[in-house]
Amino acid sequence: MAINVTRSSLPAFEEYIEEIRPIFESHMLTNMGPVYKKFQRMLIEYLDVPFLSLFVNGHMALELAIQAMNLKKDHGEVITTPFTFVSTTHAIVRNGLNPVFCDIKPEDYTIDPAKIEPLINDNTVAILPVHVYGNVCDIEAIEQIAKKHNLKVIYDGAHAFAEKYKGKGIGNYGDATMFSFHATKVFNSIEGGAIAFRDEKLRKPLHELKNFGIHSAEIVDSIGGNAKLDEFRAAMGICNLRRVDECMMKRKEVYDRYNERLRGVPGIRFCENNADATYNYAYYPLVFEPKVFGRTRDDIYTELLAHDVHTRKYFYPAINELAVYRNVYNSTNTPIAHDISLNILTLPIYEELSLADVDMICDVITGKA
């Protein structure tokens, strides 16, 4: 049986059936009904955030959060990272703004605050950092820069669900934080996403942007799209939220076993997690140094595939090297992101992955298989 890089968490079948039973009874399938509202309340409490708006997926949440902040201006620029999923950059571009790529820190692959300020000019309107693999960004440094230059900070927290920084939910930092509930994430609602925010003034534009600009039954006072989360996905989110802590603890067992087997192997570099943050064990990334390790990242990828183990070169290529962007941007300006993208590999990690399979994966990597 194939071992995939992840496996979607699912509740007991009977539990989900009970959660969707009221939907069949009411025939209210969407339009922010009672199940949606229940899910929203549970998330606000669980994530420890003041306000939260649900969306059909994380990408639309991020794209519409940028739009809700009314950042658009001629030649407006958003400083972000090239080491992320392409959705982050697309959300900027689809808002008519220009991404400006800042290099990353070699220790945890998050945006390097020391390199942000030289990129700021009169056209800069925001900073969009990413909590890569759930590694929390240097929040204080970013906030200091943003306040100095009067910039918005929108975090891509797609990987950071359930995490805390200095005891506070990660969604409390910056002007907004996007969460993704995609099926591949540590927590899922099949598809889904959310924006956590602190300023209640964002509530109205976020609501209307995802609901055709509708203010009330007879008033449409803005232009919006359709990005609402439906009742069935909200029900899946409710079920999975009840068990997400247990899921993360099981993932931690896998994470710890990898550490036990691979820490100290020459030529393998590990992500350094922020000591002030909790971690959700969403990913297990390794960087291979071929001159020391003796094999390349691609060698390991191929060898594991021969054992029906599916890993992921995540993120490769870096965003500024993708076909859609490479003629516009020069990746030599972000050499660390370029180097990490060439050598990174994320290993399988999910709650049902057995420690025996983890050992087999480690044996292949260390040449003992």
- What does each C-alpha distance from 73 to 77, 96, 150, 201, 256 come to in angstroms? 9, 8, 15, 20, 47
**Domain assignment present for 299:** yes
Q: Are 289 and 141 in a shared domain?
A: no
Number of structural domains (the chain) is 2
Q: At what angle do helices 355-366 and 297-306 cross, to 10 degrees?
A: 130
Q: Are residues 305 and 318 in the same domain?
A: yes
For residues 18 and 105, state if they share a domain: yes
Q: Are residues 170 and 234 in the same domain?
A: yes
How far apart are alpha carbons 163 and 172 in whole angstroms? 11
The first and second tokens of residue 55, run together, are: 């969306």
Q: Residue 219: inside a domain, yes or no?
A: yes
Which residues lie closer than 8 Å to 330 by C-beta, 6 or more apart? 320
Contacts of 182 (CB under 8 A, 6+ apart): 57, 58, 158, 188, 191, 192, 193
CA gap 258, 197 in Å, rounded: 35
Q: Is 314 left (phi over 0), alpha (psi -120 to 50) or beta?
A: beta
Q: Mind listing the pLDDT tens digit for each residue in 32-55? A: 999 999 999 999 999 999 999 999
60 with 142, same domain: the answer is yes
What pLDDT, in 10s, does the model give residues 239-263? 999 999 999 999 999 999 999 999 9
Domain boundary among 239, 257, 275: 239
**The domain boundary residue, chosen from 239, 260, 281:** 239
Residue 300 lies in a domain: yes
The two structure tokens encoding residue 66: 């940028």
Looking at the structure, do residues 260 and 295 belong to the same domain, yes or no? yes
**Which residues of the chain form beta strands (DSSP E)?**
51-55, 77-80, 98-101, 124-128, 152-156, 164-165, 168-169, 176-180, 193-197, 214-216, 219-220, 268-270, 285-288, 344-346
Provide the angle, in degrees to the nearest 10, between the axes of the packed helices 86-93 and 58-68: 30
The answer to the question of residue 5 being in a domain is: no
Check residue 73 and give its pLDDT: 73
Are 82 and 217 contained in the same domain? yes
Q: In this structure, are 146 and 178 located in the same domain? A: yes
Structural domain boundaries enclosing 314: 244-366
Query: Do 33 and 128 fall within a single domain?
Result: yes
Q: Encoding tokens for residue 96?
A: 């008519």
Please give the Cα distance from 353 to 230 (Å, whole number): 30
Do 201 and 308 fall into the same domain? no
Domain of residue 138, CATH code: 3.40.640.10
**CA–CA distance, 271 with 157 (Å, rounded to integer):** 17
Which positions ≥6 away from 324 have C-beta within 8 Å?
A: 86
State residue 22's pLDDT score.
97
Same structural domain for residues 209 and 292?
no
Contact 164, 278 (CB under 8 A): yes
Residue 6 covered by a domain: no
With beta carbons less than 8 A apart as the criterion, state whether 30 and 230 touch. Answer: yes
User: 20: which residues sit within 8 A by CB, 6+ positions away?
Assistant: 35, 231, 232, 235
The per-residue pLDDT for 1 is 87
Q: Look at residues 222, 239, 256 and tell me which one is the last residue of a structural domain.
A: 239
- Tell me how far CA of residue 29 lies from CA of 21, 33, 255, in angstroms: 11, 8, 38
pLDDT tens per residue, the chain (369 residues)? 899 999 999 999 999 999 999 999 999 999 999 999 999 999 999 999 999 999 999 999 999 999 999 997 778 999 999 999 999 999 999 999 999 999 999 999 999 999 999 999 999 999 999 999 999 999 999 999 999 999 999 999 999 999 999 999 999 999 999 999 999 999 999 999 999 999 999 999 999 999 999 998 899 999 999 999 999 999 999 999 999 999 999 999 999 999 999 999 999 999 998 999 999 999 999 999 999 999 999 999 999 999 999 999 999 999 999 999 999 999 999 999 999 999 999 999 999 999 999 999 999 999 987
Q: Would 3 be classed as within a structural domain?
A: no
Note the pLDDT of residue 75: 84
Has residue 130 been placed in a domain?
yes
* CATH number of the domain encompassing residue 301: 3.90.1150.10
Q: For the CA atoms of 67, 71, 75, 77, what is the dihedral angle to 10 degrees?
A: -100
On whether residue 4 sits in a domain, the answer given is no
Note whether 51 and 157 are same-domain residues: yes
